Amino acid sequence: MTELRTLKVALLGCGNVGAQVARILIDDAENLAPRTGAHLQLTGIAVRNLDTKRDVELPRELFTTDAETLVKDADLVIELMGGIEPARTLILAAIRNGASVVTGNKALLAQDGPTLYEAADKAGVQLSYEAAVAGAIPILRPIRDSLSGDRITRVLGIVNGTTNFILDQMDTTGAQFADALAEAQRLGYAEADPTADVGGLDAAAKAAILASLSFHTRFDLENVHCEGITGVSAADIAAAKDAGFVIKLLAIAEKLTAADGSDGVSVRVHPTLLPREHPLAAVHGAFNAVFVEAENAGELMFYGQGAGGTPTASAVVGDLVSAARRIVLGGPAQVETTNGQVPALPIDAVNTSYYIGLDVADQPGVLAKIAQLFAEHGVSIEIMRQTIHRDADSNVESAELRIVTHRATEAALAATVEAVKGLDVINSVTSVLRVEGV
């Protein structure tokens, strides 16, 4: 039997994910070697504070605060520090030194991915980041490798566990947003400052990565239309439920033809109504799932834990083994293909169905007036349902109208809603939400 060579692995960060990666590399070294074709030797772990107690018992001599020196002597570098700097500088230094890099840093990739991809391409080294989208779920490699012989047309993802937990909690218990967020924070699913999650920015970073790989074009955060879930009320959830829908925060990347006939890709994150029978509607709690539609494969769904130290470490080590195998076998690194060159379409170009909730006067002829106004704006109605409420004290009746439209452009819908607001029979527009999967 031939003697296996040894590849030096530097780990930057020993937090939730890094500590579990170190554990796997040490405890599972014997199994990893034959799969890799090399021994993966963890040569050091860079941290900020040497005295911090770690989640895992690890040899003290591995720890250092000198990340720069650690990176210089590595064949493979795993970046799990998070944040933009010094992560970017260290990754670029590693690449310049000829090391392959594995990272889970979606914030950095969304902000400055092209700089890293180009540097890796130029140096002929591998840059892998499976953990950056949907934690443990293998989704980037399936899109990049398994589906490389197909044409992806649409990707719908629940890629943020915090917001899925909150919306699921609101759906199952009827809780208001603030109460569901407090519960998520109590259980450790949401951070003390939940802005990046509930505002949709975390999902937007992942949407940019998914869209780039799916459509072979570089998209960054600026190309992503982003709306969070802070405006979703318990009443929205209840109305959606009543109409057979569930509300999910979706990261969407889809090929579209705009009204002017030009082709492009819409990349967006927003609360979305899904029919309860859609596979993504069954994704509960903090779980993630990505639903992919491809011309030949049809519909595919990838489901699992989107975060957590141990699940995410599985994706990181998978990337590491794959990158190490490439070093052992030789040959060129796999680079991001950017030959798609499809433009990002603005949200106005998106053609989708909408759910509109209206509080209206209970008078004869109201439905006809509203239906006529929709028709005048070229927005056709698929479902219109009316519920009558009677105020017990005043005995005054009002009606709640729930409308689901056929596909219409964002611009046509916005004009319709503005016009509806001007009708004397309308008390208020209670919600306007996009619908997918009908």
Among 40, 77, 78, 80, binds ligand NAP (CB under 6 A): 80
Q: Does 18 bind ligand NAP (CB under 6 A)?
A: yes
Is the Cβ of residue 52 or residue 428 nearer to ligand NAP in the bound state? 52
Residues 333-372 that bind ligand NAP (CB under 6 A): none
Beta strands in 295-376 (DSSP E): 298-305, 351-361
- Establish whether 206 is a catalytic residue: yes
Among the listed ranges 3-11, 103-111, 325-333, 341-349, the one in contact with ligand NAP (CB under 6 A) is: 103-111
Q: Which helix (H) or strand (E) holds 22?
A: helix 16-27
Is the Cβ of residue 107 or residue 373 nearer to ligand NAP in the bound state? 107
Is the Cβ of residue 144 or residue 407 nearer to ligand NAP in the bound state? 144
Among 13, 138, 200, 318, binds ligand NAP (CB under 6 A): 13
Among 29, 35, 86, 118, binds ligand NAP (CB under 6 A): 86
The secondary structure of residue 146, as a DSSP letter, is I
CB 410 within 8 A of CB 350: yes
Q: Which two tokens stand for residue 418?
A: 């503005």
81, β-bridge pairs:
none
290, β-bridge pairs:
157, 302
Q: Does 15 bind ligand NAP (CB under 6 A)?
A: yes
State the minimum distance, in angstroms, from the CB of residue 427 to ligand NAP: 45
Q: Which helix (H) or strand (E) holds 64?
A: strand 63-64
| C-alpha span between 179 and 19 (Å, rounded) | 32
Indicate which residue of 8, 53, 122, 206 is catalytic. 206
Q: Does 67 bind ligand NAP (CB under 6 A)?
A: yes
How big is the site for ligand NAP, counted in residues (CB under 6 A)?
25
Q: Which two tokens stand for residue 359?
A: 């509080």
Q: Does 64 bind ligand NAP (CB under 6 A)?
A: no
Q: Does 307 bind ligand NAP (CB under 6 A)?
A: yes
> How many residues make up the chain in this entry?
438
Q: Which two tokens stand for residue 269?
A: 């994150």
Residues 22-61 that bind ligand NAP (CB under 6 A): 46-49, 52
Q: Does 104 bind ligand NAP (CB under 6 A)?
A: yes
Between the alpha carbon of residue 175 and those of residues 19, 92, 197, 244, 434, the distances in Å are 36, 46, 18, 18, 22
Which amino acid is located at 156 in the chain?
L
Sign of CA dihedral 132, 136, 141, 142: negative
Active site residues: 206
Positions touching ligand NAP (CB under 6 A) are 13-18, 46-49, 52, 67, 80-82, 86, 104-106, 131, 135, 307-309, 312
